[in-house]
Amino acid sequence: METFKVAVLEEERKIGYHEVEKKQPKDKQVLIKVDSCAICTLEQRVYLGVMNRYPFAGGHEAAGVVEAVGKKVAGVKPGDKVAVRLLNSCGECYYCRNGHENQCVKSFIAETQECAMGPGGLSEYMMVSADDVYKVADDADLSHISITEPLACCVHSIENGKIELGNDVVVIGIGIMGALHIQLAKLKGARVIACELDEKRLEVAKKMGADILINSGKVDAVEEVKKLTDGRGADAVFCTVPVAALADQAVQMTGKLGRTVFYTSFHPDKPIEISPNKVHSSEQVITGTVNPSKKDFLAATRLLSAKIVDVSELISDRMSLDDLEAAFEKAILPDTYRIVVQPE
């Protein structure tokens, strides 16, 4: 029996490796040899014990090469490079059926591997449904393609921000998500203002193409944005930091007809005050964004495949699947952007 390795988070800061039988794909199944899997916040929370979901086969940001396909698969063939949508949706609920599968009531119930629950990308192989496999260019760097899912989340967010050519756009927080927002907002034709406390991250914002940098530790970011926009406020503001005070700032620095997008979830979920009269008179839209739809995922694969978005600066390191504990320890450091895990 041929087997392959799957990494499983067994308990807080404890990783085990399971051997799983390598089978041949049936009908609409695709067998993928994993090349790269990035470590996201979800996996870090399980690793640190913030989320108690053991045993958990983590890894939902994966890319690889098709090894074999079932008889009914038409979209990909062995040898194709692919991204895999591992945080899939049920397909049966109200939201899946009205075209908003990112709002699926049952999403995240990924059961890719036989040995444990979870998306299962931290492994040597994955058996997935052809629906979830997206082909990319033959010359694509698969470590970059592993960033498809976070980019897709940002694509969804940018679409909710309804950016128009020449708009003033503020991105609050320049972690990997803020950095991707900057690149996408530039592609939409905006002047991008980056707000961040950390000078090193402001440097990243500049590399991503931000036009104006605001160190919000040194100046009042709301006042600064108003100054830059002749007192109007921005056309779209994206808050990517899980701090309620910054959500409040995001609302305040948004101008008439502007869109305020809460990209992140907030911890703790502290309520903020909103002036109903500001919203009434400005027609400001306050919205959020959660998970990518299939359309966003497809767009993200195309942006990376055609090298329209460049994530090379956002991959902090590539580490071995055999050294997963070290990879997690590095991923949780505050200065790390993405750690990409690669089987040997």
Binding site for Zn ion (CB under 5 A): 40, 89-90, 93, 96, 104, 149
Residues 191 and 168 sit within 8 Å (Cβ to Cβ): yes
Q: Which residues 6+ apart lie within 8 Å of 131 measured at CB?
A: 28, 88
Residue 325 CA to residue 211 CA, distance in Å, equals: 38
Residue 127 CA to residue 78 CA, distance in Å, equals: 13
Q: How far is the CB of 2 from Zn ion (least distance, A)?
A: 30
Q: How far is the CB of 63 from Zn ion (least distance, A)?
A: 13
Q: How far is the CB of 197 from Zn ion (least distance, A)?
A: 24
Residues 3 and 22 sit within 8 Å (Cβ to Cβ): yes
Q: How far is the CB of 78 from Zn ion (least distance, A)?
A: 27
Residue 68 β-bridge partners: 31
Question: Alpha carbon of 335 to those of 23, 316, 327: distances in Å?
Answer: 40, 9, 14
Residue 58 CA to residue 110 CA, distance in Å, equals: 10
Pairing verdict, β 212-215 and 285-288: unpaired
Return the half-sphere exposure (C-beta side, CA atoms, 13 A cut-off) of residue 253: 31
Residue 303 CA to residue 299 CA, distance in Å, equals: 6
Q: Which is nearer to Zn ion, 96 or 127 (CB)?
A: 96
DSSP 130: G
Q: Which is nearer to Zn ion, 98 or 277 (CB)?
A: 98
Q: Which is nearer to Zn ion, 101 or 235 (CB)?
A: 101
Q: How far is the CB of 92 from Zn ion (least distance, A)?
A: 6
Which amino acid is it at 91?
G
Q: Which is nearer to Zn ion, 170 or 184 (CB)?
A: 184
Q: Which is nearer to Zn ion, 284 or 289 (CB)?
A: 289
Q: Which is nearer to Zn ion, 172 or 300 (CB)?
A: 300
From the CB of residue 191, how many other CB atoms can be counted at a distance below 10 Å?
18
Q: Is 273 exposed, middle or buried (0-12, 13-18, 19+ CB in 10 A)?
A: exposed
Q: Which is nearer to Zn ion, 7 or 193 (CB)?
A: 7
Q: How far is the CB of 96 from Zn ion (least distance, A)?
A: 3
Q: How far is the CB of 341 from Zn ion (least distance, A)?
A: 13
Residue 78: asked if its preceding bond is cis (omega within 30°), the reply is no
Q: How far is the CB of 151 from Zn ion (least distance, A)?
A: 10
Residue 3 CA to residue 21 CA, distance in Å, equals: 4
Q: How far is the CB of 342 from Zn ion (least distance, A)?
A: 17
Which amino acid is it at 31?
L
Q: Which is nearer to Zn ion, 104 or 158 (CB)?
A: 104
Residue 14 β-bridge partners: 11
Q: Which is nearer to Zn ion, 90 or 290 (CB)?
A: 90
Number of separate helices (H) and strands (E) present in the chain:
11, 15
